[in-house]
């Protein structure tokens, strides 16, 4: 099999991939509301005839096998989350967020870039494997279309590993990479800070103890803390910010007796759950107030109705560039797409926080669309990225097995890997 065969085969499915993506974009699929889009993806998978098995687990993740798992065979997974964030103010969108508009060589709409654009490339990457009659004697491929990532990064993979009892040898995470290879990300956690005061009538505030004034002092100290956090030369600087403020008050004419700050904490190398909580507690003491500081928990029912509770702590992870899964991605990029790739890291968070961060399963990132369109009114994906990613996904498994078995020049790709 020559390397050009992969992109040539992928190009044949460009129109089908674009149509499929537009139809997904037209289906609202925010976290815990993905049932309809999961059904649409399943129908497309079935129509290709490429999958040996397709099923949905109790959390609602859609899974498909290409080839049959067996003793001694590698299990290689490729993952995309199917949920999106909301659209916000529709008036800010140039194109209808639920139309999948084609313009300027891109598909536009909520989820097009983050990250439903990877899904057609995965589904038709499986079809390309069948078209090219790839040898699946050394590995099988698991395609996972996962839920609730936007709400709770990696919860889906906690379920897949702990409950479905599936543990791949390697996972390609397809969250937006702009067709670059990414090998790590900062972690994150959500911390709640609650202050208690004393409520009273708003006409005589001196008789109460305003809890909002207490959290305001803490918020100012959080802003200062952000400037003091450590930095990593590769993953970047740790950050912390107040992302939500709330209070409890008997009326709008009363002093609030309780107030709450929600903190978004991004973790870099050297940060731990314990150290991040300790920093916030120190800030509270510096503000001169009393407060309860705790890591938040997630317990929202999935679209199937299942509640799979977890702590909102998502560990940092980073692979070395010489690691097998990264080198296999570099090899696949060079051999299939014909050029040396950029290797970098994500700014935002992905399902890798569970796969690699919690469970230590090797991960590497490769997906369509740049990060900077995610969660914006410019959510979009270049159509050419669908073709590139389909070609890459169809050939990654063989590239991985070639390197794992000490075949740097490969058995199915005749373009030799360049030095450098």
Active-site positions?
83, 149
List, in sequence order, every beta strand (DSSP E) within 226-332. 231-232, 236-237, 239-248, 258-267, 292-295, 297-298, 310-311, 313-314, 317-318
Cα-based angle 83, 86, 88 (whole degrees, multiple of 5): 165
- Write the CA distances from 165 to 148, 157, 158, integer angstroms: 19, 10, 10
Q: Which residues are CB-contacts of 324 (< 8 A; sequence separation ≥ 6)?
A: 170, 362, 400, 403, 404
Kind and range of the H or E element at 387?
helix 383-404
Reduced to 3 states (helix: H, G, I; strand: E, B; else coil), residue 61 is coil
Measured distance CA(188)–CA(394) in Å, rounded? 32
Q: Which two tokens stand for residue 394?
A: 């169809």
Q: How far apart are CA 152 and CA 104, in angstroms?
A: 33
For residue 372, give every residue at least 6 positions away whose Cβ sits within 8 Å of its Cβ, in sequence order, or none: none
The SS3 of residue 171 is: strand
Q: Which two tokens stand for residue 100?
A: 């999948």
Other beta carbons less than 10 A from residue 320's beta carbon: 10
Question: Residue 178 — left, alpha, or beta (φ > 0 → left; ψ -120 to 50 → alpha)?
Answer: left
Strand, helix or coil at 93?
coil
């Amino acid at each position: 099999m020559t390397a050009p065969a992969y992109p040539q085969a992928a190009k044949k499915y460009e129109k089908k991939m674009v149509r499929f993506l537009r139809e997904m974009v037209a289906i609202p699929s925010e976290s815990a509301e993905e049932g309809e889009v999961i059904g649409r993806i399943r129908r497309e998978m079935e129509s290709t005839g490429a999958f040996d098995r397709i099923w949905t687990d109790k959390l609602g993740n859609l899974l498909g096998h290409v080839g049959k798992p067996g003793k001694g065979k590698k299990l290689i997974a490729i993952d995309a989350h199917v949920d999106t964030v909301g659209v916000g103010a529709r008036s800010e969108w140039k194109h209808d967020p639920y139309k999948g508009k084609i313009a300027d060589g891109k598909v536009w709409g909520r989820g097009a870039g983050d990250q439903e654009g990877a899904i057609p490339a995965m589904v038709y990457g499986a079809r390309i494997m069948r078209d090219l009659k790839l040898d699946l004697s050394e590995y099988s491929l698991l395609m996972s279309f996962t839920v609730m990532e936007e709400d709770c990064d990696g919860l889906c993979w906690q379920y897949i590993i702990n409950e479905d009892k599936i543990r791949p040898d390697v996972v390609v995470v397809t969250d937006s990479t702009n067709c670059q290879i990414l090998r790590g990300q900062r972690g994150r956690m959500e911390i709640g800070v609650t202050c208690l005061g004393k409520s009273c009538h708003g006409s005589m505030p001196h008789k109460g103890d305003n809890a909002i004034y207490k959290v305001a002092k803490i918020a100012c100290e959080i802003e200062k803390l952000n400037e003091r956090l450590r930095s990593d030369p590769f993953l970047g600087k740790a950050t912390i910010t107040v992302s939500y403020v709330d209070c409890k008050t008997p009326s709008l004419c009363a002093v609030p007796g309780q107030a709450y700050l929600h903190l978004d904490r991004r973790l870099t190398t050297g940060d731990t759950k314990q150290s991040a909580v300790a920093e916030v507690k120190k800030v509270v003491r510096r503000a001169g107030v009393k407060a309860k500081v705790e890591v938040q928990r997630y317990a929202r029912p999935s679209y199937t109705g299942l509640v799979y509770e977890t702590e909102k702590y998502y560990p940092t992870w980073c692979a070395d560039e010489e690691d097998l899964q990264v080198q296999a991605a570099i090899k696949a990029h060079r051999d299939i797409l014909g050029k040396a790739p950029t290797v970098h890291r994500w700014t935002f968070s992905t399902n890798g926080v569970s796969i690699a961060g919690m469970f230590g399963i090797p991960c590497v990132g490769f997906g369509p669309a740049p990060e900077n369109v995610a969660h914006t009114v410019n959510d979009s994906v270049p159509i050419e990225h669908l073709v590139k990613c389909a070609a890459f996904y169809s050939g990654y498994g063989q590239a991985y097995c070639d390197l794992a078995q000490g075949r740097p020049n490969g058995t199915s790709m005749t373009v030799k890997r360049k030095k450098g």
